[in-house]
Amino acid sequence: MNVLSSLQIQELWTCSHSIFPLHPKGIFRITGFASSIVLKQNEENWLMVNLPSPNVREGWRIKSLMLRYRTSFSGGLGGFDKIGIRDGDAVIHEFTQLSLRSNNTWKTTKLDLPGPRPFRFGLGASIHVTGQVDIKDDAPPPPPNSLPPTTIEVVSIGVEFSK
């Protein structure tokens, strides 16, 4: 039997109501549809998320993390720049130097891990949101508070598992 044909894939998603800010920075809201945070240019925060997982004893491994989001702004540059996946108190993987924005449209981004990772405890994600991403290193940063705030909305977060 071909190894690829025996690979099992499972996606599990959680809604926006499992997202909570780590600090009281920005304006955080949970609505019936999405969780959102409004950040000024110089503000940042971490959003903490409980991730769904299959039975830890069945041999599933984490393959990728998926995020369904929208950034709304009128010239602001905010978005996501770091996302970490945790297994209890241990870090499974960190995605750094991200520049995730959607320009006022809903977008689903899939972030693949370098290889499937095992897990043993409850899964969570830490998502760093900032009022300013995507600034080129050779360009001077805009003057403080010169850009309008960014609204960052998350409607769901998913995990792809394989075994």
> What is the DSSP annotation of 127-154?
EEEESB----TTSPPPPTT-S--EEEEE
Give me the mean pLDDT over the 78-85 stretch: 94
Residue 91 has a CB neighbour count (10 Å cut-off) of: 10
List the beta strands (DSSP E) in the chain: 9-15, 19-21, 27-30, 35-39, 44-51, 61-72, 79-87, 90-95, 107-118, 123-130, 150-162
pLDDT tens string 16-54: 888 999 999 999 999 888 999 999 988 999 999 999 999
> 124 with 86: CB under 8 angstroms?
yes
Report the residue count for the chain.
Answer: 163
163 or 103: whose pLDDT is higher?
163
**Can you say whether the dihedral through the CA atoms of 136, 141, 146, 149 is positive or negative?**
positive
- The pLDDT value recorded for residue 33 is 87
Cα–Cα distance measured from residue 106 to residue 135, given in angstroms and rounded to the nearest whole number = 22
- The pLDDT value recorded for residue 135 is 56
Reply yes or no on whether the pLDDT at 138 is more than 80. no
> 53 with 12: CB under 8 angstroms?
yes
> 44 with 28: CB under 8 angstroms?
no
Q: Give the global pTM.
A: 0.86
- Structural domains in the chain, sorted by start: 10-35+44-134 (2.60.120)
pLDDT tens string 94-136: 999 998 988 889 999 999 999 999 999 999 999 999 988 665 5
pLDDT band at 11 (very low <50, low <70, confident <90, very high): very high
Give me the mean pLDDT over the 55-59 stretch: 92
Structure tokens at 44: 């940042």
